[in-house]
Amino acid sequence: MSEKLKIKLSIANRVYPLTIEANQEEGLRKAAKNIEAMIKQFEQSYSVRDKQDVLAMCALQFASQVEQKSIDKANVSEHVEEKLKALNDLLQSHLIS
């Protein structure tokens, strides 16, 4: 059984107590740090004062990054599959001749 940790993360001037698996701590702390940095960037760049608006913008930014990575991965997989098929066809043609 894995060890549970109780941690507190601060996001947008609010503290969130969490009980997590020990192996999740680093990822959660980095995520909170990235959210804080993005909040600061949005507040400076767009003069947004409402935390809910800033958090919605952060959520959209992170979600779009995840979606784009998924799209990019699918495109790479398709490209690799095409290359492997071409290589297989080339090998088959040499084996037959």
Instruction: In whole angstroms, give the CA distance from residue 39 to residue 57.
Output: 9
What is the pTM for the complete model shown? 0.70
Closest to 20 in 3D by CA, of 37, 41, 43, 4? 4
Which pLDDT belongs to residue 5?
Answer: 94
State the DSSP H helix or E strand holding residue 37, giving kind and residue range, or none if neither: helix 25-46
Which pLDDT belongs to residue 19?
Answer: 97
Closest to 20 in 3D by CA, of 32, 35, 34? 32
Which pLDDT belongs to residue 86?
Answer: 92
Which pLDDT belongs to residue 84?
Answer: 92
